[in-house]
Amino acid sequence: MRAASPTLAKQLWFTKPQQVEVREQLLQPPAPGEVLVQTQCSAISAGTEMLVYRGQIPTEMALDATIDGMQEQANYPLQYGYACVGRVLQVGADVDPWWLGKVVFSFQPHASHFIAAHSALIPLPDGVEPEAAMFLPNMETAVNLVHDGNPQLGERVVVLGQGIVGLLLSSLLAQFPLSQLVAVDGVLARCERALQLGVHQVFDPVSDIDILKSQLAACNGADLIYEVTGAPEALNLAIDLSGYTSRIVIGSWYGSKSATVALGGNAHRNRLQIVTSQVSTVAPQLSGRWDKERRYELAWKMLRELQPQKMITHRVPLSDAGTLYKLLHETPGDVLQAVLTYKHD
């Protein structure tokens, strides 16, 4: 049998703040335990990934301590991304031939081809389309936010921010018997989408937020507020919407951004519970019955049922990635979910 030839891969690199480029690299055939994957599509994270693009990642910490290949400090040039879907083209020695041809998900930076350990790949379950599978990280994040917030029957819940994570979170919360589910976002298209997903009311954070504040003040504030805007100053709005023993769950990662948070006055007297939520771990109070595998299973189920690929607004070839990142940076309200596509001969 003739030995496999190297594969020319096209990779996206962040070379400095607000600059990306596509580089070519020859990949050697997969080693024992590895496979070669040909990417079909990859999703851009308008939250964390744009922090990398803007140079707002703290350089003293790893990009992600739980994902292989992202455990180094964030120094340019670097690759980043964590939502790739592709097909296995080659397998190395000691890898079950079952993997050949399988469509898989990988926490992998944007690239036309990549080498990975087969143990790091997740085969797509039946009934999940490749474009839906790209939403796995964000859906798992939304599931984790629900777990950390623990919404109760009849509660008043507010979600600040209706980007992809916010919309997925709202779609999950809409399945609960809440007395009130409110979303806050300044982009009309996102608010319209939130209403379609089952949110009861939407509010602009500038023009009509006083109406929401008045409504909630009349009933001692919201029971549960989620902050998923990516803007640290939104924490003060969460505090304004809270009441006695309200719960605030922070799902945003601010990177190197910071803001003054008003923790005096009512925030102190109301005994607020402020929790940071991060998907790389399972909350200790749930770890007796939940692990990452069980949470993945639930996320796949929700992807199959909710079909989030309907929220894709932009599909752009990898070669035009620079234009897409610039659009996300300058006018993020014009993009709901952006996807990089890959053409193969």
**Mean pLDDT in runs of 10 for the chain (345 residues)?**
80 97 97 97 93 85 53 79 97 96 98 97 96 98 97 98 97 98 97 97 96 97 97 95 97 87 88 94 94 97 97 97 97 95 90
- CA nearest neighbour of 35 among 91, 87, 84, 89: 91
Q: List the structure tokens of 154.
A: 């009849």
138-276 folds as Rossmann fold (3.40.50)
Q: List the structure tokens of 276.
A: 């940071």
Q: Which amino acid is at 225?
A: I
State the pLDDT at residue 71: 41
Question: For residues 24 and 30, what is the distance between their CA atoms, to the nearest angstrom?
Answer: 18
State the pLDDT at residue 65: 46
State the pLDDT at residue 1: 41
Question: For residues 212 and 180, what is the distance between their CA atoms, to the nearest angstrom?
Answer: 12
State the pLDDT at residue 265: 82
7-129+307-341 folds as Quinone Oxidoreductase; Chain A, domain 1 (3.90.180)
User: What values do phi and psi take at 162, rounded to 5?
Assistant: -125, 45
- The two beta strands, 19-27 and 7-16, are antiparallel
Q: What is the rounded (10 degree) CA torsion for 238, 242, 245, 249?
A: -30
Q: Where are the domains of the chain?
A: 7-129+307-341, 138-276
Q: Do the first three CATH levels of 7-129+307-341 and 138-276 match, i.e. the same topology?
A: no
Q: List the structure tokens of 197.
A: 């997903």
End-to-end CA distance of the chain: 24
DSSP secondary structure letter of residue 221: S
State the pLDDT at residue 130: 97
